[in-house]
Amino acid sequence: MWKLCAVTMAGLVLAAFAGCNRTDNKQHFVMVPKGVNPYYDPCYEGFKDAGAKFGIETEFRAPQDFSVSEQQEVIEDLIQKHVDGIAISANDDQGLVGVIDEATKAGIKVITFDAPAPSSKALCYIGTVNDAAGYTAGTEMAKRMGDKGVLLMLQGGMGSQNLNERYAGFERAMKEKAPHVTIIAREDTQGKIPVAQEKTEQLLQAHPDATAIFGLSGECIPGAVPALKSANKAGKILLGGFDDIPDTLAAIRDGTCQFCLAQKTYKMGWLSVVELQAACAGKELPKQIDTGVLLVTKDNVDTYMAHMKEEAQQWGGEAATMPATMGAGTAPATQK
């Protein structure tokens, strides 16, 4: 009985909060990332900035862990709140099919950003096409390695579809452009910086002849940096990888890391608002918008973000400048 009371009370409190958010008849878009990570900060910044520019209420709701079930709960909650649009970075493709279906039925426009859910009814994917990004990364690594040496790889989660696609593109570029480089290991960092550090230390012991390390996901470089430093190999081993999180940028500034590939996170957030708005206006969205990647080195580490923002802010507002207007909209918009 007490439990029931407590649960009901908690529900009421949450409902009250939810009610507060609906101030007027402004459209309400919500960004749901995979979990809590500084990587998503610029995504939300772009989302918020675009919202402010186009008069849309925006909100950021992050599941605490990178888990499908928590993400499902967040989305179910948003369906109850009758928001107008949701942009999701999908933790899993199949796992989100049901809940995205439910949201669509409730008249909510759903798109994915950063990580797609191709099996679901999400209208559009805005983000990095990972195979292409991996190919770009491989090309850069091949150029810097000069077709010789031993390369160690780190990856956060061996079952992650977008990272496996990234790896495929990377490997293809290496085979084409630096066929004499040996890739000898691909260790799982489980998405955690301390594990990435542990694995790098072990790899450096196992392969003292290594000349380069590449990290396929964001935690790899921050973990590899202290491992290289304590082995006195900072700057002597080529280090590159994905994602421009603050730790990685600091490593680029101090020279331990030579380059990283920044996904255009701000642009993903900005375009998410533009596309959701177009969908609400009844326009048909393209299935996929590749935002591309940006090479960050010591030369542009302090200026690249400003460029990324400028580029993103060109989009939206006028229908003609929207990347969404690929075809004339046919379905009527379900405005509330």
At residue 233, the 3 state secondary structure works out as coil
Return the residue of 59, 84, 114, 219 that touches another protein, per CB under 8 A: 219
- Catalogue the E-assigned strands of the chain: 28-32, 57-60, 85-88, 109-113, 125-127, 150-155, 182-188, 212-215, 238-242, 259-263, 288-290, 293-296
Return the residue of 19, 38, 146, 327 that touches another protein, per CB under 8 A: 38
Give the number of residues in contact with another protein, rule: CB under 8 A. 36
> Is residue 6 at the binding interface for another protein, with CB under 8 A as the rule?
no
Task: Tell me whether residue 102 or residue 198 sits nearer to another protein (CB atom).
Answer: 198
Task: Tell me whether residue 13 or residue 326 sits nearer to another protein (CB atom).
Answer: 13
Q: What are phi and psi of 117, to 5 degrees?
A: -135, 75
Mark the segment that binds another protein (CB under 8 A) among 178-186, 289-297, 315-323, 328-336: 178-186
CA distance 275 to 109: 10
Mark the segment that binds another protein (CB under 8 A) among 5-13, 15-23, 107-115, 203-211: 203-211
Question: Binders of another protein among 8-37, rule CB under 8 A?
Answer: 36-37
Mark the segment that binds another protein (CB under 8 A) among 77-85, 130-138, 221-229, 306-314: 221-229
Helix (H) or strand (E) holding 249: helix 246-253
The vertex-253 CA angle with 44 and 198, nearest 5°, equals 80
Task: Tell me whether residue 46 or residue 191 sits nearer to another protein (CB atom).
Answer: 191
CA distance 221 to 227: 10
64: exposed, middle or buried (C-beta count within 10 Å: 0-12, 13-18, 19+)?
Answer: exposed
Start-to-end CA distance of the chain, whole Å, equals 38
CB 225 to another protein: min, Å? 8
Task: Tell me whether residue 25 or residue 232 sits nearer to another protein (CB atom).
Answer: 232
| Residues found near another protein in the complex (CB under 8 A) | 36-38, 40-41, 64, 155, 158, 184-188, 190-194, 197-199, 201-203, 205-206, 219, 222, 226, 229-231, 245-247, 250
